[in-house]
Amino acid sequence: MNTANRARQSNNSFAEDDLLHRLQSDQAGFARISALAGKLAGIHLPATSKNLTLVATRLSYMIRELELATYSDLARLLEKTPERHQEFISALTTNTTQFFREPTHFDILKQNLPTLIQSPHRAVGEFRIWCAASSTGQEVWTLLMTLLESPATTGLTIKFLASDIDTDCLEKAWKAIYPADQCRGIPQNLLEKYFDSAAGPNHAGVQTTYYRVKREFRSRVQFARINLVEAFPFEKRFDVVFCRNVMIYFDRTTIDKISEKMAQALRPDGLLFLGLSEAGAIRNPSFKSISPSVFKRLEMGPA
Ligand SMILES: C[S@@+](CC[C@H](N)C(=O)[O-])C[C@H]1O[C@@H](n2cnc3c(N)ncnc32)[C@H](O)[C@@H]1O
Protein backbone atom coordinates (compact mmCIF):
# COMPACT_ATOMS: atom_id res chain seq x y z
CA MET A 1 0.00 0.00 0.00
CA ASN A 2 1.43 3.39 -0.88
CA THR A 3 1.70 6.27 1.60
CA ALA A 4 -1.30 8.18 0.22
CA ASN A 5 -3.55 5.08 0.47
CA ARG A 6 -2.32 4.33 3.98
CA ALA A 7 -3.05 7.91 5.06
CA ARG A 8 -6.52 7.73 3.47
CA GLN A 9 -7.27 4.44 5.26
CA SER A 10 -6.23 5.75 8.66
CA ASN A 11 -8.23 8.96 8.10
CA ASN A 12 -11.26 6.77 7.30
CA SER A 13 -10.84 4.73 10.41
CA PHE A 14 -10.50 7.90 12.55
CA ALA A 15 -13.70 9.20 10.90
CA GLU A 16 -15.47 5.88 11.68
CA ASP A 17 -14.37 6.00 15.34
CA ASP A 18 -15.48 9.59 15.54
CA LEU A 19 -18.92 8.80 14.08
CA LEU A 20 -19.39 5.81 16.43
CA HIS A 21 -18.42 7.91 19.42
CA ARG A 22 -20.82 10.72 18.43
CA LEU A 23 -23.71 8.29 17.88
CA GLN A 24 -23.11 6.52 21.18
CA SER A 25 -23.38 9.74 23.14
CA ASP A 26 -26.34 11.20 21.20
CA GLN A 27 -29.20 10.34 23.59
CA ALA A 28 -31.77 12.62 21.93
CA GLY A 29 -31.00 11.22 18.47
CA PHE A 30 -31.18 7.68 19.89
CA ALA A 31 -34.65 8.40 21.30
CA ARG A 32 -35.81 9.48 17.85
CA ILE A 33 -34.37 6.38 16.17
CA SER A 34 -35.76 4.10 18.84
CA ALA A 35 -39.26 5.64 18.45
CA LEU A 36 -39.09 5.07 14.69
CA ALA A 37 -37.97 1.43 15.13
CA GLY A 38 -40.92 0.94 17.50
CA LYS A 39 -43.39 2.50 15.09
CA LEU A 40 -42.18 0.65 11.99
CA ALA A 41 -41.52 -2.85 13.35
CA GLY A 42 -42.41 -2.91 17.06
CA ILE A 43 -38.71 -3.10 17.91
CA HIS A 44 -38.24 -2.12 21.55
CA LEU A 45 -35.00 -0.28 22.23
CA PRO A 46 -34.77 1.20 25.75
CA ALA A 47 -31.83 3.62 26.15
CA THR A 48 -29.52 1.21 27.99
CA SER A 49 -25.77 1.61 27.49
CA LYS A 50 -25.78 -1.80 25.73
CA ASN A 51 -28.41 -0.58 23.23
CA LEU A 52 -26.63 2.77 22.73
CA THR A 53 -23.51 0.87 21.68
CA LEU A 54 -25.36 -1.78 19.67
CA VAL A 55 -27.48 0.67 17.68
CA ALA A 56 -24.51 3.00 17.03
CA THR A 57 -22.52 0.06 15.67
CA ARG A 58 -25.40 -1.23 13.56
CA LEU A 59 -26.51 2.10 12.10
CA SER A 60 -23.13 3.78 11.61
CA TYR A 61 -22.62 1.92 8.32
CA MET A 62 -25.98 3.11 6.95
CA ILE A 63 -25.33 6.68 8.16
CA ARG A 64 -21.91 6.72 6.50
CA GLU A 65 -23.19 5.19 3.25
CA LEU A 66 -25.91 7.82 3.03
CA GLU A 67 -23.34 10.55 3.74
CA LEU A 68 -25.24 11.66 6.84
CA ALA A 69 -23.76 12.76 10.16
CA THR A 70 -26.30 12.10 12.95
CA TYR A 71 -29.27 9.97 14.04
CA SER A 72 -31.52 12.97 13.51
CA ASP A 73 -30.34 13.24 9.87
CA LEU A 74 -31.19 9.57 9.44
CA ALA A 75 -34.59 9.91 11.15
CA ARG A 76 -35.47 12.87 8.90
CA LEU A 77 -34.46 10.95 5.77
CA LEU A 78 -36.43 7.85 6.85
CA GLU A 79 -39.54 9.94 7.46
CA LYS A 80 -39.36 11.12 3.83
CA THR A 81 -38.26 7.84 2.17
CA PRO A 82 -40.31 4.76 3.12
CA GLU A 83 -38.31 2.71 0.60
CA ARG A 84 -35.37 2.91 3.04
CA HIS A 85 -37.34 1.50 5.99
CA GLN A 86 -36.42 -2.07 5.18
CA GLU A 87 -32.67 -1.35 5.24
CA PHE A 88 -33.13 0.43 8.58
CA ILE A 89 -35.07 -2.44 10.20
CA SER A 90 -32.70 -4.96 8.73
CA ALA A 91 -29.71 -3.10 10.24
CA LEU A 92 -31.36 -3.23 13.68
CA THR A 93 -32.36 -6.90 13.70
CA THR A 94 -30.46 -10.13 13.14
CA ASN A 95 -31.44 -12.82 10.68
CA THR A 96 -29.60 -15.58 12.52
CA THR A 97 -31.14 -18.96 11.80
CA GLN A 98 -30.11 -22.50 10.84
CA PHE A 99 -31.46 -25.84 9.70
CA PHE A 100 -32.95 -27.83 12.62
CA ARG A 101 -32.34 -24.92 15.03
CA GLU A 102 -33.75 -25.78 18.47
CA PRO A 103 -34.35 -29.38 17.29
CA THR A 104 -36.65 -30.31 20.18
CA HIS A 105 -39.43 -28.29 18.46
CA PHE A 106 -39.35 -30.49 15.37
CA ASP A 107 -39.62 -33.60 17.58
CA ILE A 108 -42.59 -32.05 19.42
CA LEU A 109 -44.24 -31.20 16.10
CA LYS A 110 -43.68 -34.76 14.82
CA GLN A 111 -45.13 -36.28 18.02
CA ASN A 112 -48.19 -34.02 17.86
CA LEU A 113 -48.96 -34.43 14.16
CA PRO A 114 -51.37 -37.39 14.52
CA THR A 115 -53.42 -35.51 17.17
CA LEU A 116 -53.30 -32.26 15.20
CA ILE A 117 -54.52 -34.06 12.10
CA GLN A 118 -57.31 -35.96 13.88
CA SER A 119 -58.69 -32.76 15.40
CA PRO A 120 -62.29 -31.97 14.39
CA HIS A 121 -61.24 -28.31 14.06
CA ARG A 122 -58.90 -28.93 11.13
CA ALA A 123 -59.88 -27.94 7.59
CA VAL A 124 -60.76 -31.10 5.62
CA GLY A 125 -57.96 -32.41 3.41
CA GLU A 126 -55.50 -29.64 4.34
CA PHE A 127 -52.75 -29.06 6.86
CA ARG A 128 -52.10 -25.34 7.28
CA ILE A 129 -48.80 -24.07 8.68
CA TRP A 130 -47.31 -20.56 8.99
CA CYS A 131 -43.64 -19.83 9.63
CA ALA A 132 -43.96 -16.24 10.82
CA ALA A 133 -40.41 -14.85 10.97
CA SER A 134 -38.78 -17.15 8.49
CA SER A 135 -35.58 -15.18 7.88
CA THR A 136 -33.55 -16.81 5.08
CA GLY A 137 -35.64 -19.99 5.00
CA GLN A 138 -33.68 -22.68 6.85
CA GLU A 139 -36.55 -23.03 9.35
CA VAL A 140 -39.09 -23.26 6.50
CA TRP A 141 -37.33 -26.12 4.74
CA THR A 142 -36.71 -27.93 8.03
CA LEU A 143 -40.44 -27.74 8.74
CA LEU A 144 -41.40 -28.88 5.25
CA MET A 145 -39.05 -31.90 5.49
CA THR A 146 -40.44 -32.73 8.95
CA LEU A 147 -44.02 -32.65 7.65
CA LEU A 148 -43.34 -34.59 4.47
CA GLU A 149 -41.31 -37.25 6.32
CA SER A 150 -44.18 -37.95 8.72
CA PRO A 151 -46.64 -40.68 7.67
CA ALA A 152 -49.33 -38.60 9.45
CA THR A 153 -49.47 -36.06 6.60
CA THR A 154 -49.90 -38.67 3.81
CA GLY A 155 -52.79 -37.71 1.55
CA LEU A 156 -53.08 -34.18 2.94
CA THR A 157 -52.43 -30.97 1.02
CA ILE A 158 -49.87 -29.00 2.99
CA LYS A 159 -50.63 -25.27 2.79
CA PHE A 160 -47.40 -23.61 3.87
CA LEU A 161 -46.99 -19.86 4.31
CA ALA A 162 -43.60 -18.35 5.18
CA SER A 163 -43.26 -14.67 6.02
CA ASP A 164 -40.83 -12.09 7.33
CA ILE A 165 -40.68 -8.31 7.49
CA ASP A 166 -37.44 -8.34 5.48
CA THR A 167 -37.92 -8.88 1.73
CA ASP A 168 -34.19 -9.55 1.14
CA CYS A 169 -34.48 -12.47 3.55
CA LEU A 170 -37.65 -13.65 1.83
CA GLU A 171 -35.91 -13.64 -1.52
CA LYS A 172 -33.07 -15.77 -0.12
CA ALA A 173 -35.61 -18.10 1.49
CA TRP A 174 -37.48 -18.47 -1.77
CA LYS A 175 -34.28 -19.09 -3.78
CA ALA A 176 -33.32 -21.71 -1.17
CA ILE A 177 -29.61 -21.95 -2.05
CA TYR A 178 -27.26 -22.66 0.85
CA PRO A 179 -23.51 -23.33 1.01
CA ALA A 180 -22.50 -26.77 2.32
CA ASP A 181 -21.28 -25.44 5.69
CA GLN A 182 -24.81 -24.17 6.45
CA CYS A 183 -26.28 -27.59 5.64
CA ARG A 184 -24.29 -29.57 8.22
CA GLY A 185 -27.36 -30.00 10.45
CA ILE A 186 -29.35 -31.76 7.74
CA PRO A 187 -29.26 -35.60 7.91
CA GLN A 188 -27.60 -37.06 4.79
CA ASN A 189 -30.72 -38.96 3.64
CA LEU A 190 -32.79 -35.74 3.73
CA LEU A 191 -30.05 -33.76 1.98
CA GLU A 192 -30.07 -36.29 -0.85
CA LYS A 193 -33.85 -36.47 -1.07
CA TYR A 194 -34.76 -32.77 -0.83
CA PHE A 195 -31.75 -30.92 -2.30
CA ASP A 196 -29.85 -30.63 -5.57
CA SER A 197 -26.15 -29.83 -5.34
CA ALA A 198 -23.77 -27.84 -7.50
CA ALA A 199 -20.26 -26.43 -7.17
CA GLY A 200 -19.45 -22.75 -7.48
CA PRO A 201 -17.14 -20.05 -6.09
CA ASN A 202 -18.09 -18.46 -2.75
CA HIS A 203 -17.77 -14.70 -2.02
CA ALA A 204 -14.00 -15.16 -1.54
CA GLY A 205 -13.65 -16.99 -4.86
CA VAL A 206 -13.08 -20.40 -3.19
CA GLN A 207 -14.81 -23.35 -4.90
CA THR A 208 -17.68 -24.51 -2.65
CA THR A 209 -20.57 -26.98 -2.79
CA TYR A 210 -24.02 -25.39 -2.72
CA TYR A 211 -27.30 -27.14 -1.99
CA ARG A 212 -30.62 -25.98 -3.35
CA VAL A 213 -34.05 -27.22 -2.28
CA LYS A 214 -35.51 -29.13 -5.24
CA ARG A 215 -38.06 -27.20 -7.28
CA GLU A 216 -40.88 -29.66 -6.51
CA PHE A 217 -40.45 -28.87 -2.79
CA ARG A 218 -39.80 -25.12 -3.22
CA SER A 219 -43.11 -24.82 -5.03
CA ARG A 220 -44.97 -26.06 -1.96
CA VAL A 221 -44.32 -22.88 0.04
CA GLN A 222 -45.80 -19.43 -0.47
CA PHE A 223 -43.76 -16.43 0.69
CA ALA A 224 -45.17 -13.08 1.79
CA ARG A 225 -43.97 -9.98 3.62
CA ILE A 226 -45.86 -9.74 6.89
CA ASN A 227 -45.01 -7.27 9.64
CA LEU A 228 -46.11 -8.89 12.89
CA VAL A 229 -47.08 -5.57 14.45
CA GLU A 230 -49.62 -4.91 11.69
CA ALA A 231 -53.00 -6.61 11.17
CA PHE A 232 -52.74 -10.23 9.96
CA PRO A 233 -54.23 -10.75 6.48
CA PHE A 234 -55.74 -14.24 6.94
CA GLU A 235 -59.15 -15.61 6.11
CA LYS A 236 -58.46 -19.21 7.15
CA ARG A 237 -56.82 -20.37 10.34
CA PHE A 238 -53.62 -22.36 10.76
CA ASP A 239 -53.01 -25.72 12.43
CA VAL A 240 -49.47 -24.71 13.43
CA VAL A 241 -47.59 -21.42 13.71
CA PHE A 242 -43.83 -21.18 14.19
CA CYS A 243 -42.93 -17.68 15.42
CA ARG A 244 -39.50 -18.26 16.90
CA ASN A 245 -36.81 -15.87 18.03
CA VAL A 246 -38.60 -12.68 17.05
CA MET A 247 -40.58 -11.86 20.24
CA ILE A 248 -37.21 -10.86 21.75
CA TYR A 249 -37.46 -7.61 19.78
CA PHE A 250 -40.83 -6.55 21.22
CA ASP A 251 -41.99 -4.99 24.48
CA ARG A 252 -44.67 -6.50 26.73
CA THR A 253 -47.56 -4.59 25.16
CA THR A 254 -46.54 -5.55 21.63
CA ILE A 255 -46.07 -9.22 22.61
CA ASP A 256 -49.56 -9.26 24.17
CA LYS A 257 -51.07 -7.76 21.00
CA ILE A 258 -49.24 -10.27 18.79
CA SER A 259 -50.31 -13.16 21.08
CA GLU A 260 -53.93 -12.08 20.69
CA LYS A 261 -53.58 -12.00 16.90
CA MET A 262 -51.88 -15.42 17.01
CA ALA A 263 -54.85 -16.74 19.00
CA GLN A 264 -57.11 -15.53 16.18
CA ALA A 265 -54.83 -16.98 13.50
CA LEU A 266 -54.76 -20.48 15.04
CA ARG A 267 -57.70 -22.85 15.09
CA PRO A 268 -58.64 -24.45 18.44
CA ASP A 269 -56.13 -27.20 19.39
CA GLY A 270 -53.56 -25.65 17.00
CA LEU A 271 -49.98 -25.19 18.20
CA LEU A 272 -47.85 -22.06 18.52
CA PHE A 273 -44.06 -22.46 18.76
CA LEU A 274 -41.89 -19.62 20.09
CA GLY A 275 -38.10 -19.60 20.49
CA LEU A 276 -36.75 -21.59 23.46
CA SER A 277 -35.67 -18.35 25.16
CA GLU A 278 -39.17 -16.86 24.68
CA ALA A 279 -41.07 -19.42 26.78
CA GLY A 280 -42.40 -16.79 29.18
CA ALA A 281 -43.72 -14.48 26.47
CA ILE A 282 -47.30 -15.78 26.19
CA ARG A 283 -49.76 -14.67 28.90
CA ASN A 284 -52.88 -14.91 26.76
CA PRO A 285 -55.62 -17.10 28.35
CA SER A 286 -56.43 -18.62 24.92
CA PHE A 287 -53.15 -20.55 25.14
CA LYS A 288 -51.97 -23.40 27.37
CA SER A 289 -48.29 -24.32 27.51
CA ILE A 290 -47.72 -27.98 26.52
CA SER A 291 -43.95 -27.70 26.84
CA PRO A 292 -41.75 -24.66 27.48
CA SER A 293 -42.17 -22.38 24.44
CA VAL A 294 -44.90 -24.53 22.79
CA PHE A 295 -48.52 -23.45 23.28
CA LYS A 296 -51.86 -25.03 22.45
CA ARG A 297 -54.72 -22.81 21.32
CA LEU A 298 -57.61 -23.61 23.67
CA GLU A 299 -61.18 -23.92 22.53
CA MET A 300 -62.33 -21.08 24.77
CA GLY A 301 -62.57 -17.55 23.42
CA PRO A 302 -63.77 -16.58 19.93
CA ALA A 303 -63.52 -19.79 17.88
C1 LIG B 1 -33.41 -14.14 14.61
S2 LIG B 1 -34.40 -14.27 13.16
C3 LIG B 1 -35.33 -15.73 13.54
C4 LIG B 1 -35.40 -16.67 12.37
C5 LIG B 1 -36.10 -18.01 12.65
N6 LIG B 1 -37.45 -17.82 13.09
C7 LIG B 1 -35.35 -18.83 13.65
O8 LIG B 1 -35.75 -18.92 14.81
O9 LIG B 1 -34.31 -19.40 13.28
C10 LIG B 1 -35.58 -12.96 13.44
C11 LIG B 1 -36.38 -12.60 12.20
O12 LIG B 1 -37.47 -11.76 12.61
C13 LIG B 1 -37.72 -10.83 11.59
N14 LIG B 1 -38.49 -9.70 12.14
C15 LIG B 1 -38.07 -8.70 12.95
N16 LIG B 1 -39.09 -7.86 13.22
C17 LIG B 1 -40.19 -8.35 12.58
C18 LIG B 1 -41.54 -7.92 12.47
N19 LIG B 1 -41.97 -6.80 13.08
N20 LIG B 1 -42.39 -8.66 11.73
C21 LIG B 1 -41.95 -9.78 11.09
N22 LIG B 1 -40.69 -10.24 11.15
C23 LIG B 1 -39.81 -9.53 11.89
C24 LIG B 1 -36.31 -10.44 11.11
O25 LIG B 1 -36.35 -9.89 9.82
C26 LIG B 1 -35.59 -11.79 11.18
O27 LIG B 1 -35.59 -12.46 9.94
Q: What is the CATH number of the domain that holds 149?
A: 3.40.50.150
| Judgement on whether residues 60 and 130 belong to the same structural domain of the protein | no
Determine the atom of ligand 1 nearest the C-alpha atom of 166: 25
| Same-domain status, 36 and 145 | no
Does the pLDDT of residue 86 top 50, yes or no? yes
CATH code at position 68:
1.10.155
Q: Which atom of ligand 1 is nearest to the CA of 164?
A: 22
Lowest mean pLDDT among 108-122, 127-141, 288-302: 288-302
Of 193, 162, 191, 194, the residue nearest 97 (C-alpha): 162
Q: Report how far residue 283's alpha carbon sits from residue 270's, in angstroms, rounded to the nearest whole number.
A: 17
Shared-domain flag, residues 189 and 59 = no
- In contact, 92 and 59? CB cutoff 8 Å: yes
| 39 in the same domain as 11 | yes
| Same-domain check for residues 164 and 223 | yes
Task: Tell me, yes or no, whether 85 and 108 share the same domain.
Answer: no
Q: What is the pLDDT of residue 6?
A: 60
pLDDT at position 158 is 97
> Cα-flanking dihedrals φ and ψ of residue 182, to 5°?
-85, -10
pLDDT band at 127 (very low <50, low <70, confident <90, very high): very high
How high does pLDDT run on average in the chain?
93
| In contact, 262 and 243? CB cutoff 8 Å | yes
- Report the number of distinct structural domains present in the chain: 2
- The answer to whether residue 41 sits within a structural domain is yes
Same domain, 185 and 288: yes
pLDDT range class, residue 204, cuts 50, 70, 90: confident
Residues 150 and 228 in one domain: yes
Q: Is residue 141 part of a domain?
A: yes
Q: How far is the CA of 106 from the centre of ligand 1 (A)?
A: 18
Spell out the alpha helix ranges (H) of the chain: 3-24, 27-41, 49-65, 71-80, 85-92, 104-118, 138-149, 167-175, 188-194, 215-218, 252-265
Longest alpha-carbon distance in the chain: 76
Q: Are residues 132 and 47 in the same domain?
A: no
Q: What DSSP string describes 73-98?
A: HHHHHHHH-GGGHHHHHHHHS-----
Give the residue numbers spanning the domain of 285: 104-297
* Residue from 224, 286, 225, 290 nearest 259 by CA: 286
Q: Are residues 62 and 126 in the same domain?
A: no
pLDDT reading at 283 higher than 60? yes
Q: How many percent of the chain have pLDDT more than 70?
A: 95
Compute the distance from residue 169 Cα to the ligand 1 centre, in Å.
Answer: 9
Average pLDDT over residues 174-191: 97
The lowest-confidence range among 9-13, 31-35, 95-99 is: 9-13
- Of 61, 92, 123, which closes a domain? 92
Residues 140 and 272 in one domain: yes
The residues carrying an active-site annotation are 58, 164
**N-to-C CA span, the chain:** 69
